[in-house]
Amino acid sequence: HFKFNNSDEFSQTGTSADCGSDEENFDQMFWKMGSTNMKKFFAALNEMPSKSLSLTKEVLQERKQLDAHMQGLQLQIKVGLIKLDEIKKTQAALEEHKSEVEKDENFEYEVQAVKAVQRNTDHTARNCESCKFTCHDPCDGWTWFCPAIDWSGNCRVCPGKCGSGSHQLKMYKYEYVTQKEKKTYKNLKGNYEKVTGQTMNLEKLLEYLWGDFFQIQDRILDLVKGSSGCLARLKEIALR
């Protein structure tokens, strides 16, 4: 069993005095977990024994599928943690400058945002263009022989579990980078109004931010559970 925190990148994430008991409870449960556990989890793959030469073709294929799935889970966990940090800092900025926000919708704040970028490669990789996610790298086989694609033609790896039609073999892969971005309360408010169909004020917007926060948190915990099961199966195969 592995416990995850926000890693060193988020270890200095600030909290505002107004965040309330929900945030304090979450800090105790999630943010204060040692970063050592995250490192141990990702290092565990490298500690597995070499696989037996007597493994059947079916087991070898399962290992390829698990390897692809594991890589996707790791990346989704990291991206999720960055998004949690972005929401947390957005909440803190809006609450700290509440009076300014209410007077001026063009109030600006700065956060570390995550962005998918294309990196050229010297080989082909299978990318989901809907999710902007690399599902199998390197990949040079037909769709039906790709370990990322299941028997029904859906992807095992990308966040949306998209169909094979959304995937392409390209000489690039997607990587996720963090960069500082300036955002405005007006744009944030407009985005939520568009999605919800409701008129937003600051108080209601903060409530929706908390909802997104806990939704992503639950998603990360599910990914951690899936990763632990996947890793256990990989170790079982390696010991054969």
174 pLDDT more than 90? yes
91 pLDDT more than 90? yes
Residue 203 counted as domain residue: yes
Task: Give the position of tokens 């744009």.
Answer: 187
How many Å separate Cα 163 from the centre of its chain?
20
Residue 3 counted as domain residue: no
What crossing angle do the helices spanning 202-238 and 185-196 adopt, rounded to 10°?
Answer: 80
Residue 12's domain spans which residues? Answer: 8-238
Residue 90 counted as domain residue: yes
Residue 192 counted as domain residue: yes
| pLDDT, mean of residues 15-33 | 54
**Nearest partner of 22 among 209, 208, 210, judged by Cα:** 210
- What total of structural domains would you count in the chain? 1
Residue 1 counted as domain residue: no
pTM comes to 0.69
Residue 206 counted as domain residue: yes
**Nearest partner of 133 among 194, 69, 39, 185, judged by Cα:** 69
| pLDDT, mean of residues 69-80 | 89
Residue 2 counted as domain residue: no
How many Å separate Cα 16 from the centre of its chain?
25
Residue 74 counted as domain residue: yes
